[in-house]
Structure 1
Amino acid sequence: MKEEKLHIHTIQSYLVMETEKFYQKIMADFGISHFYSFQTDEEKKVPFLEDSCSNILFEYSGNNMNSFVIGNSGKLQTLTLKRNCDYFGIRFQPGANPFFENQEVKDLVGQRIDLRNFDILTNLSEKMSEQNTFTNRMCTFMEEYRNWLKTTQSGQKHLFFQMVDLIVKKDGLLKISELIDYTGYSSRYINLLFETFLGCSAKQFCKNVKMHTIINELNRSNVDSFPNFYSKFDFYDQSHFVHSFKEFTGVSPKEYINQVKKSSYKTKIVDF
């Protein structure tokens, strides 16, 4: 099987919409999707979509810094952002976060945990608290992060990442039966790997990838209607597509498109 670089880019659109500028640096390597940064001028409760990724979020306010691990949300949740704060985050690839190799994934799903609860990350927190620019924060994080990277991985995790890679390449449009044919393993074993390393089933991960593929298409384009979306992404009909989209994002596709336009979404993203 040919190895290719794994990358699923889940940008958490509502973070972009609710800020003046959203800065990001795409990594797509070392288990990291991207670094990101934004500022707030008032307290906000922002929808946080399920994306099968964990995050570390640093919250700077004056001379103080708080930091959190945000596990795979498991469902649509709300992220509370404080007033007048500067945020810097790291979004990991699905199943990747070497800081927490010994942590049960299920214990992180849907959780926002203070980084101070993890003694192994004390040094990281201290160093990050001293940084005040995007580049310095990114470089400081990587210096510490490299100490935790493993040069080898178990056969189980290697197989898991191969399946994740395949699902991402197919935009989530993959049946479990196809994974069975591809790997030669049973659905029970496949789901065991996904539950172990990701905290959700293979079917749910396929859905997450598919929905974020749709969201990214809506974010990039000037879509006013979507009559072909339901067939392109294997929905039964238009009604099924609208229902699934609203369940995932909290709004209908039409409402989401209006939010993208109203927020001038595309002008807010700044790539490093």
Structure 2
Amino acid sequence: MPHPYHPLHAPHLQPQLHLPSHYFQEFAPSRRLASHVAAYWTVDFLPVPGNPGHRVIPDGCVDIIVDLFASSSRQAAYVVGLTTQVEVLQVVKARSVWGIRLYSESARTILKAPISTLKTNRMFLEEFWGQEALDWVEKLLTAQSIPDRIEVVEQQLSQILAATESPAPTLVYQSLQYIYEVKGNLSVTELADKVNFSERHLRRAFELELGLSPKEMLGIVRFQSLLGELYSGDYSSLTDLALQHGYYDQSHFSSVFKRYYGLPLKQLTKLE
């Protein structure tokens, strides 16, 4: 079943980032995993002069990342939690990484633990899956092609999902469906009314499950929805685009864009 939310990242919006020294690709999951996985992705880096680094934008997703140049399977795979501001990763040595971008409402099932259990924003996959992680990483590191790599990933994820009983939808899951449906364009008060819980209870549920507030998730999804329309070019002006997504104050809109993307919006478009 297709997912209603499809986050974007910098190489989609900035074609100039496609360099021989910074090669980014995304791949869609199979239909059976499309409601759990936003995308598979790969980035190859070379530390050459002029490489701008890799811009990581908050997207409301959790990533399993595998360093394909790692010296051991134990050090190769790690989980990166939800981010709330842009980060630019600078390249100091040649790297090739493989990523699995998980929707946050599915991450608990796949990781076998809530996202909030991430002690830091990055933890080795072994801490979640144990020996199973090391065995899986070995298969991934020895895969001979991208289709082979995808097959290894999909077999693992499908086995985990098949072995897990389908739980009743949680409050966070239900809330996220509303957030995706309206593209983040509602307040925490309105969201609490939708799910028939108090704001306090809703905030507590988000913190326990995701480790961030419903307000922050609303802001990220709203921002990503704006990026989607910016990418499609389906807007008449930046002002209209901002208003359509509930940014009624220009200074607030500018500060939000700088926080999440790290660049002024007008650097990504020639439209006024």
* TM-score normalised by L of structure 1: 0.80
Residue 45 of structure 2 aligns with which residue?
40
Matched position secondary structure for 2:238? coil
Match for residue 127 of structure 1 among 131, 139, 143: 139
Residue 62 of structure 2 aligns with which residue?
54
Moved more, 203-212 or 142-151: 142-151
Residue 198 of structure 2 aligns with which residue?
186
| Structure 1 unmatched ranges of 5 or more | 259-272
Distance in 2 (CA, whole Å) between partners of 1:89 and 1:134 is: 12
Moved more, 206-215 or 228-237: 228-237
Matched position secondary structure for 1:125? helix
Residue 261 of structure 1 aligns with which residue?
none
| Structure 2 unmatched ranges of 5 or more | none
Matched position secondary structure for 1:54? strand
2:165 paired with 1:151: yes
Residue 90 of structure 1 aligns with which residue?
100
Residue 73 of structure 1 aligns with which residue?
83
Once the two structures are aligned, what percentage of the paired residues are identical? Answer: 19
Distance in 2 (CA, whole Å) between partners of 1:22 and 1:122 is: 25
Moved more, 204-213 or 7-16: 7-16
Distance in 2 (CA, whole Å) between partners of 1:215 and 1:10 is: 8
CA contact (8 A) 1:167 1:173 kept: yes
Distance in 2 (CA, whole Å) between partners of 1:146 and 1:109 is: 26
Match for residue 148 of structure 2 among 118, 127, 136: 136
Aligned partner letter, 1:138? I
* TM-score normalised by L of structure 2: 0.80
CA contact (8 A) 2:57 2:260 kept: yes
Matched position secondary structure for 1:74? coil
**Counterparts in 2 of 1:40 and 1:60: CA distance versus 1, 3 Å:** same
**Counterparts in 2 of 1:142 and 1:81: CA distance versus 1, 3 Å:** farther
RMSD: 2.8
Match for residue 112 of structure 2 among 101, 113, 122: 101
2:255 paired with 1:243: yes
Aligned partner letter, 1:124? W
Moved more, 56-65 or 5-14: 56-65
- Residues 68-126 of structure 1, C-alpha deviations (whole Å, 9 max, x = no match): 21111233223355643332211000232234233x52342762223344424122111
**Counterparts in 2 of 1:225 and 1:231: CA distance versus 1, 3 Å:** closer
Residue 10 of structure 2 aligns with which residue?
13
CA contact (8 A) 1:74 1:110 kept: no
Matched position secondary structure for 2:5? coil
**Counterparts in 2 of 1:16 and 1:180: CA distance versus 1, 3 Å:** closer
> How big is the shift at 1:223?
7.0
User: When the two structures are aligned, how many residues end up with a matched partner?
Assistant: 252
CA contact (8 A) 2:116 2:211 kept: yes
> How big is the shift at 1:169?
1.4
Distance in 2 (CA, whole Å) between partners of 1:108 and 1:145 is: 20
